[in-house]
């Protein structure tokens, strides 16, 4: 695997204060980036500061940066209000009764779906192969753990291609459900309304091997594979699901692997 479209990575890591230099230098070595103490005029840069790690578009300085935040914003509000087992993703995964399914989020991204499932009690492993997205996600998980969010004890992050992970003998029989939310080229900017998500899409590009990942997931998930899709999008790899759960903008295609 690994044939996803990796767009140009940020080549610089900006620090807001000298106290963050040691951590920034360690991360820069891992990402192959250089450390800056002054914001450049253009390009995308990672920034390490008092609010954690974020991705900035220096060509649009007024735009909101891309940051993983489980405790604040809309996601934090939903968590405090309480996630519900009748939400589409929870129903698609089969979050009901006991024991709850063991889940692999094969395309973790910003971790929002995994966080919801973990908040509902599922043990969730997150695979994220893009090095910058993984760094943002790891930072968000660390800050959330420091704030004592209970769901974080049920989340485990792997910096690995999910196809490699599930084929590892150690993963045999480990996951009841595998969730996929592959990125695809957008037909128009209107599909990604929020600017941070447009920045995310520009960073990650498309998962061109998503169809192959589906086939691998189907061979290893004990109960089902769940694929998140835009509401009117074609089925992934042309494979019709066993059933689906539809919302206003998205649907979850469910492929049952064991009845």
**DSSP calls for 211-248:** HHHHHHHHHH-SSEEEEEEETTPPPGGGPPPSEEEE-S
C-alpha–C-alpha distance, residues 203 and 55, integer Å: 10
Structure token digits, residue 130: 């893009």
Going by pLDDT thresholds of 50, 70 and 90, the confidence category of residue 1 is very low
Across the range 12-26, mean pLDDT stands at 94
pLDDT of residue 233: 93
Is the pLDDT confidence value at 9 over 50? yes
> Which residues, 6+ apart, have CB-to-CB distance to 219 below 8 Å?
none
Q: How many other CB atoms sit within 10 Å of the CB of residue 45? A: 21
Domain boundaries, the chain: 73-256
Mean pLDDT value across the chain: 88
Triad 142, 143, 149: Cα angle to 5°: 90
pLDDT tens-digit readout, 214-226:
999 999 999 999 9
> Which residues, 6+ apart, have CB-to-CB distance to 211 below 8 Å?
236, 237
Q: Which regions of 4-149 does DSSP assign to beta strands (E)?
A: 12-15, 34-36, 44-49, 52-57, 102-105, 123-127
- Name the fold adopted by 73-256: Rossmann fold (3.40.50)
Is the pLDDT confidence value at 30 over 60? yes
Report the run of H or E that residue 11 belongs to, with start and end: none
98: DSSP letter: S
Q: Contact at 8 Å (CB) between 257 and 218?
A: yes
52: left (phi over 0), alpha (psi -120 to 50) or beta: left
Find where tokens 């992050």 sit.
157
C-alpha–C-alpha distance, residues 154 and 120, integer Å: 10
pLDDT of residue 181: 93
pTM: 0.89
> Which residues, 6+ apart, have CB-to-CB distance to 13 below 8 Å?
24, 27, 28, 31, 33, 34, 35, 36, 45, 46, 47, 48
pLDDT of residue 4: 41
């Amino acid at each position: 695997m690994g044939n996803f479209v990796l767009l140009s990575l940020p080549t610089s890591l900006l620090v807001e204060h000298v106290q963050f230099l040691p951590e920034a230098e360690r991360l820069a070595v891992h990402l192959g980036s250089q450390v800056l103490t002054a914001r450049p005029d253009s390009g995308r840069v990672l920034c390490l500061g008092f609010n954690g790690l974020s991705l900035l578009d220096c060509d649009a300085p007024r735009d909101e940066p891309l940051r993983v935040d489980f405790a604040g914003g809309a996601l934090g509000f939903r968590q405090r209000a309480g996630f519900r087992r009748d939400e589409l993703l929870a129903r698609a995964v089969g979050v009901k009764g006991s024991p709850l399914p063991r889940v692999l989020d094969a395309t973790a991204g910003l971790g929002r779906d995994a966080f919801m499932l973990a908040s509902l009690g599922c043990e969730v492993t997150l695979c994220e192969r893009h090095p910058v997205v993984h760094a943002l996600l790891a930072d968000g998980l660390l800050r959330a753990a420091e704030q004592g969010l209970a769901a974080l004890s049920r989340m485990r992050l792997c910096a690995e291609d999910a196809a490699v992970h599930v084929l590892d003998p150690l993963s045999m029989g480990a996951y009841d459900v595998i969730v996929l939310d592959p990125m695809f080229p957008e037909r128009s900017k209107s599909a990604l309304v929020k600017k941070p998500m447009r920045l995310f899409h520009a960073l990650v590009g498309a998962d061109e091997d998503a169809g192959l990942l589906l086939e691998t997931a189907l061979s290893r998930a004990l109960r089902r594979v769940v694929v998140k899709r835009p509401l009117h999008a074609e089925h992934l790899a042309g494979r019709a699901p066993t059933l689906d759960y539809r919302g206003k903008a998205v649907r979850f295609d469910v492929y049952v692997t064991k009845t």
